Amino acid sequence: MDSKVAERGALENEKETPQEQEQEQVVNPWEVAAKDGGKIDYDKLIDKFGCQRLDPSLIDRVERLTSRRAHVFLRRGVFFAHRDFNEILDAYERGEKFYLYTGRGPSSEALHLGHLIPFMFTQYLQEAFKVPLVIQLTDDEKFLWKNLTVEESRRLARENAKDIIACGFDIRRTFIFSDFDYVGGAFYRNMVEISKRVTCNQVVGIFGFIGEDHIGKYSFPPVQAAPSFPSSFPHLFSGKDNLRCLIPCAIDQDPYFRMTRDVAPRIGYHKPALIESLFFPALQGETGKMSASDPNSAIYVTDSEKVIKNKINKYAFSGGQDSIEKHRQLGANLEVDIPIKYLSFFLEDDAELEHTKKEYGSGRMLTGEVKQRLIEVLTKLVERHRRARAAVTDELVDAFMAVRPLPNMFN
């Protein structure tokens, strides 16, 4: 299906009332639920949303353009869908740069591995393409949706900024901002331009708002849409209204940007491009939900080696068989096995992963071994993050968040 037709269709679908979509899986920025407690059907999702699959030819193209190996998340299909990513690459080939936009809703101090994924990928994109990046901390959103005070959400934003900085972004090309601090001026002007082009019915269709929801919720979407337009950042992109934007995010954020893309041409800007990831599965399995209230559903960046070992050994859902004999005979069910899934996210070595899958799938390798390897990989990752996080000072955060020029942001 032509991408534009698919997208148009998805936007039309949004006009249906939410009730009509009850039996379907639910995927929006505030809720992700598979049909009948099963697995998320990504093919259906791509179909319904009207975005495109990231095919291998695009990945090859990225490798050629950046002269380096594609990030593990691209190779393994973690980032698997996109909108107009090929146009970004076309423009890049012509010498036209772009900027990256990603963000986080700072709802809690505890970050888990799932939260890190878009940031790890964005850091790679920044380094590979040598482009600037804006990171939005939606402290206002969390204040509006959760039981937090304004001070608490601002404080969480700063705390989360430290974890984000620990992912290794280039301070010479990165601007981090919190909505409560930055909204105003040109950014606000864009917000209002956007809000004039989106109807109440549309946001109800996209986000499922109801009459009883307070107006803060209704007026929030333009805040997350505005960073897609370069003129929202006059201190960075003044005079570059033609600059394209690429947004790496998890696929549940797609609705915001469908709305944004619909508005963009009407206010004279390029539609922002998107590159979207799968959901990171909970330890208990794809059907489980990673939840802040259950610390054993995820690995946190503050978990010690001992905790990681315990969580993986005790809670990671295994696709192995009940007994060793049965396992040797039938092999493991790789479809549901969490350690293998986690390894496919975080084990860099393609050959080793393939080998592990083969041995485990045939029953020659046991669950314990796979888990052991995973524990090693995750511990290394978490350690690196912790070290980097410990070195982030308040002064460093101030510098990242200062409204300052970024000369050489494209060099």
Partner 1 sequence: MGFSKEQFLARLQELQIEFSQYEHPVVMTVEDQAKHVGNSEGGLSKNLFLKDKKNRFYIVSALADTKVDLKVLSQRLGLGKGGLRMAPEEALGEVLQVPLGSVTPFALVNDSARNVSLLLDQGLKGQERCLFHPLSNDMTISLNVCELDKFLRSIGRDSSYVDLEANPPVGKDNPPDLAALVPSDSIVLPDLPEKAASLQAPPKAHVVSNKKSTEITAKATEPSRKVKNVKDKPVNSVQPSSSFKDVGQFVEEILDKTSALLLSEITEETINQHGQQLGVVVSNCIRERLASELKTDTTLYMQTAYTEGFHVARKMFQSTDTGNQFRCL
What whole-number distance in Å separates Cα of residue 55 and Cα of residue 74?
A: 10
Residue 79 CB, shortest distance to partner 1, in Å, is: 20
Residue 330 engages partner 1 in binding (rule: CB under 8 A): no
Residue 304 engages partner 1 in binding (rule: CB under 8 A): yes
Residue 399 engages partner 1 in binding (rule: CB under 8 A): yes
Counting DSSP H helices and E strands in the chain, the numbers are 21, 9
Residue 31 engages partner 1 in binding (rule: CB under 8 A): no
Distance between start and end Cα atoms, the chain: 38
- Closer residue to partner 1 in complex, CB, 373/386: 386
The b/e string for 279-313 (b: 16+ C-beta within 10 A; e otherwise) is: bbbbbbbbbbbbeeeeeebbbbbebeeebbbebbb
Q: Show Cβ contacts of residue 19 under 8 Å, excluding neighbours closer than 6 positions.
A: none
- Closer residue to partner 1 in complex, CB, 212/394: 394
Residue 386 zone, left/alpha/beta (φ > 0; ψ -120 to 50; rest):
alpha
Residue 393 CB, shortest distance to partner 1, in Å, is: 4
Running DSSP on this structure, what letter comes out for residue 264?
G
- Closer residue to partner 1 in complex, CB, 324/390: 390
Residue 128 engages partner 1 in binding (rule: CB under 8 A): no
Running DSSP on this structure, what letter comes out for residue 36?
G
Pick the piece of the chain touching partner 1 (CB under 8 A) from 230-238, 267-275, 315-323, 379-387. 379-387
Residue 374 CB, shortest distance to partner 1, in Å, is: 18
HSE (side-chain half, CA atoms, 13 Å) at 316 = 26
Instruction: Find the binder of partner 1 among 44, 64, 326, 384 (CB under 8 A).
Output: 384
Residue 176 zone, left/alpha/beta (φ > 0; ψ -120 to 50; rest):
beta
What whole-number distance in Å separates Cα of residue 26 and Cα of residue 31?
A: 7
Residue 147 engages partner 1 in binding (rule: CB under 8 A): yes
Residue 181 engages partner 1 in binding (rule: CB under 8 A): no
Residue 161 CB, shortest distance to partner 1, in Å, is: 12
Instruction: Find the binder of partner 1 among 12, 398, 403, 408 (CB under 8 A).
Output: 398
How many residues interact with partner 1 (rule CB under 8 A)?
Answer: 29
Residues that bind partner 1 (CB under 8 A): 109, 147, 149, 152, 159, 165, 168, 170-172, 302, 304, 306-307, 384, 386-391, 393-396, 398-399, 402, 404
